[in-house]
Chain A
Amino acid sequence: QQPVQSPQAVILREGEDAVINCSSSKALYSVHWYRQKHGEAPVFLMILLKGGEQKGHDKISASFNEKKQQSSLYLTASQLSYSGTYFCGTEEGNNDMRFGAGTRLTVKP
């Protein structure tokens, strides 16, 4: 079951904040977040396991609400390097990852 991401695209100015959401109709064991730049492979950002934890590094953080089967990725004080397509990947406990359709983030000077 593919998770649903929103929004599909977002355009920011440098320094602005953004939130990307990921939701599933199935009970989730974990949520992964990846970023893919044009012409490159997806790169891992972080994993959140069930338990409602929040993680972050630098100015990118994420939360996971297992009861609502939702995760959100928070980008604070965005930088030009944050541009790319962000994917959430969800696992239902059997290790097969299903990716959302992606959110294209563009950060402009």
Chain B
Amino acid sequence: DAGVIQSPRHEVTEMGQEVTLRCKPISGHDYLFWYRQTMMRGLELLIYFNNNVPIDDSGMPEDRFSAKMPNASFSTLKIQPSEPRDSAVYFCASSHKSGVSNQPQHFGDGTRLSIL
């Protein structure tokens, strides 16, 4: 059973360029989460979707960040224009809710982003 798939695994680009990170959640999962991890700020929730609809984007740092989920099997996180302080590891995770019980979040391997 395939897990959460993220691409690319590594991205190095210059300041000002557009960056697009991609995520394929586990089939059947109806929640998708985007996180950013840095040494300084830890693991931060950026945005999450339920059934492809953005529910809470209060963690998105600035208007330069945007996320979409056009269908149940694909999501993107875009940064335009990118800045050096955006350098971090970005994780995508998916889960499903069974009744009132919350299920584990399954994380992808992450995208290590470096903005020069």
Do the beta carbons of A44 and B45 come within 8 Å of each other?
no
Q: For A30, what are the chain B residues with a Cβ–Cβ distance below 8 Å?
A: 102
* Contact string against A for B residues 24-50, beta-carbon threshold 8 Å, 1 for contact and 0 otherwise: 000000010101000000111100101
Q: Indicate whether A97 sits within 8 Å of B110 (C-beta atoms), given known contacts A41-B91, A44-B104, A44-B105.
A: no
Which chain A residue has the least Cβ–Cβ distance from B3?
A41
Of A12-20, A61-69, A98-106, the one touching chain B = A98-106
Interface size (A, Cβ < 8 Å)?
24
Q: For A81, what are the chain B residues with a Cβ–Cβ distance below 8 Å?
A: none
Q: Which residues of B contact A (CB under 8 A)?
A: 31, 33, 35, 42-45, 48, 50, 55-56, 91, 97, 101-110
Please measure, in the bound complex, the distance between the C-alpha atom of A95 and the C-alpha atom of B106, giving whole angstroms: 14
Q: For B31, what are the chain A residues with a Cβ–Cβ distance below 8 Å?
A: 95
8 Å CB contact of B42 from A47, A94, A99: A99
Q: Indicate whether A41 sits within 8 Å of B102 (C-beta atoms), given known contacts A87-B43, A98-B45.
A: no
Do the beta carbons of B102 and A44 come within 8 Å of each other?
no
Give chain A nearest CB distance to B105 CB in angstroms.
7
Please measure, in the bound complex, the distance between the C-alpha atom of A39 and the C-alpha atom of B31, giving whole angstroms: 24
Give chain B nearest CB distance to A94 CB in angstroms.
8
Q: Indicate whether A43 sits within 8 Å of B107 (C-beta atoms), given known contacts A95-B50, A96-B48, A101-B42.
A: yes
8 Å CB contact of A32 from B50, B55, B91, B104: B104
Q: For B109, what are the chain A residues with a Cβ–Cβ distance below 8 Å?
A: 40-41
- Asked if A49 CB lies within 8 Å of chain B CBs, one says yes
Please measure, in the bound complex, the distance between the C-alpha atom of A95 and the C-alpha atom of B101, giving whole angstroms: 10
Please measure, in the bound complex, the distance between the C-alpha atom of A99 and the C-alpha atom of B107, giving whole angstroms: 14
Interface residues in A16-67 (C-beta closer than 8 Å to B): 29-30, 32, 34, 40-44, 47, 49
